Structure 1
């Protein structure tokens, strides 16, 4: 179980995100009204309904910690800053933009912290297990951001084009935004479902993005855990991902299978006696592993 100070920090981070998101609602309404002032009633209705719909989805996600809620919060929270940018282009006064951008930015930073992610991932844990989110692989993270940028462009432009009576282009953009939601949402959620787990029987690496299957080690199979040295020769199971990695050595050879790819449709199996994982808080992992009696150091 997480220590009390760490659990408290995670709860505080979540409440900061919730408070900031509430301010987004209180301030955002006036900002949207200023942005659509003098425009058609269609645009005004679309902006109001769209803005409140996005806010409500994220608000529900922030209220009920879970893995899908983590994905929804991290996908939806940045939309407030996009709305601020669009409002600025529409001629909203600078003061309104500043007032909205501050809580929007605070909420964005809060939901992307490791402690926020840890609380939401842990909320979906089973029994006596401790889940620690992993750093996103560089390639997968970059692809997710690029996909989000394309999706959000379609999400905003489609309804606004329809409101401006640009029926064909608006319909195409809106349909593409809907298709993007259906296609990308499960893939974004996969990035939230990556964690290193401490369980009573040992350790588990659950990473559906990098690995074809979980890598599970019994306590007796773990020779040691430590921060990976620069000259480590352990098998890299991080993606690769940036940040500090933990080196886990084993008492016997272990088989791990990398995820399926077009060039390797059956995955790629390797045999290892040491592996690297990249939790977002490696110090917390080592402390928790030591508390469970695993060999650390």
Structure 2
């Protein structure tokens, strides 16, 4: 269900919105997961967490984020790192181009300083509207809605206003965290969890959410059959100095390798050696193409 955007909210609508927001904020303060990036206002640490969390589960990100910050504690440190080492440290998090764009963004920050609002952050490589808003909100206190799929779902199911209208002016950063937490842990895409939701009394969709059926078994591509899987295997091999995957079809490996070269993550020398692109000469290892 969605709010009727064609009419102005009544006083009752505004009261219900305020009560729902207050209930969610109270729940978040009591029940929020203790995630390390929520205990800092360092824009670099927050940016790293947001980039890592893109399509990667929180449980997998926590130890990788902690190890990353220990190795490269500042934007300047990451900017000065070898591209080969950065990609190697990213292996297993998926979409290796995210690591490249993160390092490129940190190079700009190391040179020019941090933009302190979402508009400025969006000009950094790889920083889209959501990530820019999240960093601006959590690090710099800007009153901007950080709108991801969880926040959109909460807004649509509540039907009390858009994500921007739900944002409380007195505590926008906590609301951004709370709305994402609610969507990630209770009001999920495939399990509404209405009986556990702090906003249940005000929600237009309470106990009436229609869950779309899953795709029929066998109709979804296995991860091991995807190009993303092959690309990850190749990057891992090159950064670790081992052989390219020989247990995969040679044509799949060649197609994935060509894409990695085209995307600027790897380069293939004239002698057939594959290396990480962008590294200083002699500082990175390579692996001959089979």
TM over 0.5: no
**TM-score normalised by structure 1 residue count:** 0.28
Q: Normalized per residue, which structure has more strand?
A: 1
Higher relative contact order (CA 8 A, sep 6+): 2
**TM-score normalised by structure 2 residue count:** 0.29
